[in-house]
Structure 1
């Protein structure tokens, strides 16, 4: 028995938006939906998959999904369709792949368990917390 894969039609404008443009759109999206403890991690030189990771928390599964949906909406405003969106059904951890920027929106308990910030910043300065946030992650 086979399961049908969820197919997302990707669209990358030519030329694609710069990583900083995508990062700005993500900032606007997470800020608009009042995501908690937003952290941006520069992984250039550490990962060949992406340039930046953004990790944010939602207060409930509905909030997590709404934040991820808002990120997708803001990317579309740049003419960019995500390469993939994973985890929407359970909405405890939703990943939005925007190529140069990968966004992780998680419930706090899931975020604490996986500790992505620590994984990607071992030996670095602490991750940068977005100025709109009131409290540091962790």
Structure 2
């Protein structure tokens, strides 16, 4: 993938995202190494918020804390009241779900060939 963030390489960025989400009470945080399987991103980070409000808050905190480090998302899909928010950081794509939406879309099964780098339950 093209490197847009001089401060963090894709692996460092993915680990930083896991740390931020975990620190702000996101649960079942999973980091998948997807670069060998797709050109979409080197990593996917998938996490669960207890409610749509928490999913929205986690997305806001991620954008705010990473922006302070000079990292901005290329795009964000889903906003307030969303049960699924996707944040595209080019090399890392973040999926934040409510429990029901995570179960419904089951990205872990869809990307089961991707090795799990981190799993925080």
- For the criterion TM > 0.5, the same-fold answer is yes
TM-score range normalised by the length of the shorter chain: 0.7 to 0.9
Corresponding residue pairs, total = 118
2:66 corresponds to: 75
Mapping of residues 77-96 of structure 1, within 5 Å: 77-96=68-87
- Long gaps (5+) in structure 1: 1-11, 134-138
- Long gaps (5+) in structure 2: none
Please report the RMSD computed on the Cα atoms of aligned residues, expressed in angstroms.
1.8
Deviation >4 Å, runs of 4+: none
The alpha carbon displacement at 1:34 in A equals 0.7
Q: Calculate the TM-score normalised by the size of structure 2.
A: 0.87
Instruction: Label 1:25 to 1:129 Cα distance change in 2 as closer, same or farther (>3 A).
Output: closer
Distance 2:72 2:26 in 1: 21
Q: Which of 55, 59, 62 is the matching residue for 2:50?
A: 59
| Structure 1 residues 64-107: Cα deviation after superposition (integer angstroms, max 9, x where no partner) | 01111111122212201100111113310000111111100000
Q: Which of 101, 104, 107 is the matching residue for 1:113?
A: 104
Higher strand share: 2
Distance 2:28 2:74 in 1: 25
Q: Calculate the TM-score normalised by the size of structure 1.
A: 0.77
| Residue 44 (1) aligns with residue 35 (2) | yes
